[in-house]
Amino acid sequence: MNGFWAILGRDLALARAESGGALLAVQFFALGILLFPLGLGPEPGMLSRLGGGLLAVMALLATLLALDRLFQQDHEDGTLDLLLTSPAPLWSIVLGKAVAHWLITGAPMLLAAPLLGVLLQMSWPAIGGLVVALALGTPTLSLVGAVGAALTIGTRRGGVLLALLVLPLYIPVLIFMSGTVTAAETGLAFGGHVSILGAIMLLSLVLTPWAAAVALRQVGD
């Protein structure tokens, strides 16, 4: 796992040096949520009913916003060629980059979500369900997105192609994230939704680093 820790530390250091770009996703997430009351109106009942789904959708879009640069910058400056020839397993490098992406984008959204939930007049049980859903769902978004980012390196209009590739794969995560919040809001048990989100995350953790590594090898060849 030396490759994992090395690439994780490197990407976090780069994000710290470019703090404006690192915060772009969470800024997009927060501003998008703050705009919805202006368009939907300030009626608390409507905002509380729609809040969970709105936050889940905005988390998905904010994650997608930061994905296209996951490998692209390394490809442009030649770092990717060095990573491909590194003795460290390529899957561990991919995993390190995906975890760094989540720490830069998903973790700040997870911290901001309770405050945004309060602004949308969501109940405390719904906010609790939201935090659990984001804690399990956003890592999956980063892991699956890493595969799409690896497949679209060096392509024209890579951002558009990346969205077309990963959005269908994001749909199950979005459904169960929203379902968790809705069940918590209505007082129903949401353990089943949480279990499925956890299973999807574990499956992604096992499969996506290998799939992205294969895609990167094809680019290197």
| pLDDT tens-digit readout, 103-153 | 999 999 999 999 999 888 888 999 999 999 999 999 999 999 999 999 888
Separation between Cα atoms, residue 16 and residue 186, nearest integer Å: 40
Q: How confident is the model at residue 42 (pLDDT cuts 50, 70, 90)?
A: low
Amino acid at 172: P
Domain range enclosing 200: 2-220
Residue 45 has pLDDT above 80, yes or no: no
Of the segments 47-56, 159-168, 172-181, which one has the largest average pLDDT value?
Answer: 172-181
Long-range contacts of 182-190 (CB under 8 A, 24+ apart): 182/52, 182/53, 183/129, 184/125, 184/126, 184/128, 184/129, 184/130, 185/48, 185/49, 185/52, 185/122, 185/123, 185/125, 185/126, 185/129, 187/125, 190/129, 190/132
Instruction: Tell me the percentage of the chain whose pLDDT exceeds 90.
Output: 43
Q: How many domains does the chain have?
A: 1
